[in-house]
Structure 1
Amino acid sequence: MKSTLPNEALRTVGEALQGSLVDLIDLSLVAKQIHWNVVGPRFRSIHLQLDEVVDTARSYTDTVAERASALGIPPDGRSATVFQGSAVSPVPEGWLPDSDAVRTMVAALASVIAKARERMAAVGPVDPVTEDIFIQLTGELEKAHWMFQAENG
């Protein structure tokens, strides 16, 4: 595959897309792990809210990977790659009280959002198409972040 971007721009965009791919895969896994283990009086609402994050992360995982492929960059979503490169902190093992689940998701989303904003700034000057993906992604993640923050008031 041959990219339409110059080599320097391609390297910047490739690093941003790969980093985001890893973060989004891990975010979806973290949200699912919490989804299966959340307990407490707010179980149902948090359980459902976590599925929304999983859906968003998985949708953008595909968008990011396909953008990389379109530019001639082979995306790497292997588990070892995700383990080595994710900005998301590990989730505690076992049952997770609803308040802890919310705090864990707020922290996970904040990490992914911070990285997405860095990547958005890096790709903006060299590839507005990829920048647009990061703009949309960041908006969706910030909405989820806000909603989880509101859970613990």
Structure 2
Amino acid sequence: MNQTATAARLSNTRISLQSQTKEQMVRILNQHVTDLTDLFVQSKLAHWNVRGAHFISYHKLFDELAGHLTELTDTVAERVTALGGTAGVPVQSIAAQTSVAQWPLDQHQDVDVIKALAERWAVVANSARQAVVDTAQADPDTSDLFTEVSRQLDKDLWFLEAHFEM
């Protein structure tokens, strides 16, 4: 999303940040909405398609983690709108804008699926951690939000990685 498009979509708010800061935060936040949405879909693909000896435990775990992503995405998207932005992008744009690698639809074996999901989870978790730093000076509230997001993603990544040796 380019800066002009972001600026055109910002609504007036009483939040005492400069317009340029709001625009920057909206761009960063919306990238995370995109990545979290993609990770949610990939988690559901893993949930639906996993096979193997650990099927039921992985099936339940992936569904639980997808639920966390729904909550995190909503939190991030609501910060976008609080800053006067428009949250998210159409689903058709997610594939072009995501930072997450495409899901391997041909992988169904439980251990392979959990490793693929952990790889993608790490991308989003590490990006959220970087966003804590990138937003700290300009907007401590957005930075704090990313701390919450990062903390949950790190915990969920730990749950995934605990299933296999690194």
**Band of TM-score, shorter chain:** over 0.9
Shift of 1:95: 5.3
Alignment pair present for 1:134 and 2:143: no
Cross-structure match for 1:98: 110
User: Shift of residue 123 of structure 1?
Assistant: 1.0
- In the alignment, which residue of structure 1 is the partner of 2:5? none
Aligned to 1:83: 95
State the percentage of identical aligned residues: 29
The 8 Å contact of residues 54 and 110 in structure 2, kept in 1 or not, is answered as yes
Q: Rg larger in 1 or in 2?
A: 2
Corresponding position: 1:2 with 2:6: no
So what's the TM-score if we normalise by structure 1? Answer: 0.94
* Higher RCO, 1 vs 2 (CA within 8 Å, ≥6 residues apart): 1
TM-score with structure 2 setting the length? 0.87
The one-letter amino acid paired with 1:68 is: V
Partner residue, 1:115: 127
Q: Quote how far apart the aligned CAs of 1:15 are.
A: 1.4
Partner Cα separation in structure 2 for residue 116 and residue 123 of structure 1: 10
Taking the aligned partners of 2:112 and 2:148, their CA distance within structure 1 comes to 28
CA distance in 1, matches of 2:24, 2:72: 19
**Alignment correspondent of 2:82:** 70
Whole-angstrom CA distance in 2 between matches of 1:21 and 1:44:
29
Amino acid at match of 2:31: G
- Post-superposition Cα deviations, 1:44-101, rounded to whole Å, max 9, x if no partner, equal 1111111121111111111111110111011123112211111111111245100111
Q: Which amino acid aligns with 2:86?
A: P
Moved over 6 A (4+): none
Maintained 8 Å contact 2:107/2:113: no
Note closer, same or farther for the CA distance 1:77–1:56 as it changes in structure 2 (3 Å cut).
farther
Structure 1 distance, partners of 2:136, 2:103, is: 32
Match of 1:11 in 2: 23
Q: Distance in 2 between matches of 1:98 and 1:41?
A: 7
Which residue does the alignment assign to 1:151? Answer: 163
Q: Distance in 1 between matches of 2:94 and 2:145?
A: 20
Q: Contact 1:25–1:77 (CA<8 Å) still a contact in 2?
A: no
Q: Secondary structure at the match of 2:105?
A: coil
| Alignment RMSD (CA, Å) | 1.2
Equivalent residues, number: 153
